[in-house]
Amino acid sequence: MTAPSTAQEIRLASRPQGVPTPENFELVAVPVEPPGEGQVLVRNLVMSVDPYMRGRMNDAKSYVAPFEVGKALEGGAVGEVVVSNAPGFAVGDKVLHGLGWREYATVAAEHVVKVDPERAPLGAYLGVLGMPGLTAYAGLVDVAGLKEGDAVFVSGAAGAVGQVAGQVAKLRGARRVVGSAGTDAKVAYLVDELGFDAAFNYKDAPVTEQLAAAAPDGIDVFFDNVGGDHLEAAIASFNPHGRAALCGAISVYNATTPQPGPRNLGLAVGKRLTLRGFLVRDHAHLQERFVREVGGWIAEGRLRYTETTTEGGLAKAPGAFLGMLRGDNTGKALVTF
């Protein structure tokens, strides 16, 4: 197919104060940039919305540069090559890249990875076999040093990362896996479909009380996607030499004032705890092992996953993003074009 002369992209119209609103986004038509030497033009088919994107909407120093007001947002996407000026890429190839939030993307070949639609659905390369899946795997294996017989707690367990983390823990020999989620339906999903030993709705009662009841013998590993009261509860429930992989803190992403840290952090001394933050990009050496192990479990039907897909094209992406921040999704949140 030939590319159009113009296409749509979504820009950051303004920086949010607290919870983002639709007014923080702007849908605009822009010229489609022809690919130069060593580049490909990709028609996006599916894109990802992720919690980390909320941090990039702030003008604050972080591990990745903030989005610029008046310019297109960015994020993972899978699309089809429509024009190629790069050896090794042909028209029709399906590829993974980092320029979502637009209908067409001109990308340097070194920032594009081929994916096989026969091996897995395209959305899987943005979720269970993509960045979220590798995040879960690396956090447990590399960061928390998961050992057979560990008791594991996963916060935000019905999300894109959490659903994989809990199952990887079970498949690697954890003696008990507990998850938290924000609805009773998600709690049922964790236990009935994913095989968690226990799960609870964090809105029903204090997390510390519910975790203590779900893991009466304590926990050894905590995979944290939420922060706040979940981290405090984990510290209280940790056995000696417990290890926490700190992946995210979505409970405070929309805070407009500094939030207090865990009130019981002093317990980390006597319990000899390890609380370690991490970024998935520091664990790229696990990629091949991750795809082999997790991909094998998926093929065998031993690791299951779900996705929440918003259809209707690029204009639906801001709503899907806001819904993901509210916790409307189960599993990976995607937008199809």
On whether the CB atoms of residues 41 and 81 are closer than 8 A, the answer is yes
Alpha carbons 194 and 191: distance in angstroms, whole number: 6
Architecture of domain 131-282: 3-Layer(aba) Sandwich (3.40)
- List per-block mean pLDDT (blocks of 10 residues) for the chain, which spans 337 residues: 90 97 98 97 98 95 93 98 97 98 98 94 96 98 98 98 98 98 98 98 98 98 97 98 97 88 95 97 95 94 97 97 97 97
In 10 A of CB 288, how many CB atoms? Answer: 9
pTM here is 0.94
Domain with CATH 3.90.180.10 in the chain: 6-126+308-336
Residues shown for the chain: 337
Residue range(s) of every CATH 3.40.50.720 domain in the chain:
131-282
Give the closest residue to 180 by CA, choosing from 222, 217, 143.
Answer: 222
Which residue in 202, 194, 195 sits closest to 155, CA to CA? 202
Residue 1 is predicted with a pLDDT of 65
- pLDDT for res 40: 98
pLDDT of residue 35: 96
pLDDT at site 2? 75
Specify the pLDDT at position 3.
82
Q: Could you tell me the CATH superfamily of domain 6-126+308-336?
A: Medium-chain alcohol dehydrogenases, catalytic domain (3.90.180.10)
Among 264, 189, 256, 282, smallest CA distance to 228 is for 264
